[in-house]
Amino acid sequence: MSNDHISATPDLEHTCPSRRHLLRIAALAAPAGMLMATGTAAVATEKASATGERISANGKVAIVTGSSRGIGAATARRLALDGYSVTINYLHNQDLAQDSVAYIENAGGKAISVQADVSDPDAVRKLFDATQEAFGGVDVVVSNAGVMRLASFASMSDEDFDRMMAVNLKGGFNVLRLAAQRVRDCGRIISLSSSITQLRSPTYGPYAASKGAQELFASVLAKELAGRQISVNAMAPGLVNTTLFTDGKTPEQIAGFAQRTPHQRLGEPEDIAHVISALCSGDGMWINGQTVFANGGVI
């Protein structure tokens, strides 16, 4: 194996602290201090990127599904700035995926793009295989790929319902199944849910159900991986300025939604990427089996 491959056994003292050390951290670290530390790290990384500083590799590898645009693209770029080698997954938007690869490589990082439909178990396996071949392993998986079809129960078509369940429910399962097998000890697994599971607005029923499943998946998988120091969580964004949310809405409707948050704006993909980055950091290890709501206070 060449020297530029990632070791399958990273520095355990840094990435996988002893149980005694974990107990000491749990006893001494106040939650507020932890949040301050991760927030400061996020700001520092953002400033480093803005000033043109080069990415410093951390020897770890991340897969982000559905990352050609929106929250997925912002997350892939953010994790790259944190030092991860990143696999960017897309279904149709190859050009957008390559834009993110170029962005990361121009900053001194490593990235590849891989086409895969997460509803296809064989395609997901090839996605993980390509990552293993390129970078030597997997430390973080962010299961972000999803589709949204809105209609009342009375008018929802079988085709729209089936596609949402194939991508969001089965696709999420396909990705988490491989993550459970392939993510190295002390890694992170994050599955994207949605705050709509709490808002429960009309026409969102089947979509909310497919996203609520991610919360159950994360809670159960965290327990199944006990002893490996892998933290598994669901991330539930709120109203985010992506085409998934804005398509089909008038400017007036979008402005009305923005006013529903205490910050009186829509979230941006980067807002969610920052929280995912914090969960993937060393400081985020103790958050496990949870659903993290990042919605600007809309609920």
Assess whether 207 carries a catalytic annotation.
Answer: yes
Nearest to 261 by CA among 244, 280, 282, 245: 245
Q: Tell me how far apart the alpha carbons of residues 127 and 138 are, in angstroms, rounded to a whole number.
A: 11
Q: Tell me how far apart the alpha carbons of residues 46 and 31 are, in angstroms, rounded to a whole number.
A: 23
CA angle 31, 62, 232 (to 5 degrees): 45
Choosing from 84, 90, 204, 207, the catalytic residue is 207
Query: Beta strands of 129-278 (E only): which ranges?
Result: 138-143, 183-192, 231-237
Whole-Å CA distances, 230 to 6, 41, 180? 19, 21, 9
DSSP state of 151: -
Six token digits for residue 266: 């829509």
Q: Tell me how far apart the alpha carbons of residues 1 and 230 are, in angstroms, rounded to a whole number.
A: 26
Six token digits for residue 210: 């497919």
CB 289 within 8 A of CB 149: no
Q: Which residues are catalytic?
A: 207
